[in-house]
Amino acid sequence: MCFAGWAWQHTYWEGPYGPLFWQGEVFDLASALGGQWDAFVGSGAGDGWVQRVIAWTAWPYIVCMVLSLTARARARAQLAGLVLGSACLAVLAYAKYVASLRELPMLIEHGGQVLSPILLALALVYGARHRAVVAVAVVAVVTTFAAHGAYALGLWPTPASFYGIPAVLLGSDDATTTAFLRSAGALDFAVCVGLLVPAARRSCMLYAALWGLLTAAARPAAGMSTSLSYWGADQFLHEAVLRAPHFVAPLYLALVWRPADAASAGVSTSRP
């Protein structure tokens, strides 16, 4: 779902890589390789070097979308493809980090998405209950929720979408929306702390899965309208789909830590 959502973004719209290319250092490199300014930026849609490179970045996501459904434990090429897909997501996260003027939460909030292909590859190789798989899932959840919590609490400038989505869905004023965001941010950090408490970790993950699903679904819920072409699905639906790791990773941990597994310490170190 993560790869499918980003594949749609890259194919139908455009990947968020502009800030990586529109820098003097990149043009200096292109010039050193014999490139010219007109060829670098282009004169219209899709004819510049930058635009063509960005357009081609859709293909890794399409390939990895297929690999995530077909990869097998002994297929090393497929597993390597998933790891490369994780690297693509890391580059994407870095591009958004640069666009945000290098705000740390913008970089780490994509941790769940970046780590999801690695999580799948490890689960295929070692089994879904292996400690390494659980550890990666924990890091994925902590990075995602800590970053969103930092924005919601105002530790960094809160993105406009954080205010706009609840204001539209709840019809709340600025003061109520701010109070809602601060409460949600505090709960995001409570989830991260709760992971360290065995008695509370499963409840925290069930909450995180529900909250991750609601916040992902809130994008199309707030943006879609019958007045838009395709009801706005082409603009907003993929925003929920690509955020699937935000609720699937905590749901996975909640299943691993269910009470029936308590006798075996919740996790085994080999295939089940």
How much is the pLDDT for 47? 64
DSSP codes joined into one string, 37-74 = HHHHH-SSTT-SHHHHHHHHTHHHHHHHHHHHHH--TT
Specify the residue for token string 């635009």: 51
Mind listing the pLDDT tens digit of every residue in the chain (272 residues)? Answer: 999 999 999 999 988 988 887 776 766 766 676 666 666 666 655 567 777 788 889 999 999 999 999 999 999 999 999 999 999 999 999 999 999 999 999 999 999 999 999 999 999 999 999 999 999 999 999 999 999 999 999 999 999 999 999 999 999 999 999 999 999 999 999 999 999 899 999 999 999 999 999 999 999 999 999 999 999 999 999 999 999 999 999 999 999 999 864 545 445 545 54
How much is the pLDDT for 51? 77
Do 194 and 200 touch, CB atoms closer than 8 A? yes
Closest by Cα among 62, 68, 185, 169 to 120: 68
How much is the pLDDT for 266? 46
How much is the pLDDT for 146? 98
Every domain of the chain and the residues it spans:
2-17+57-264
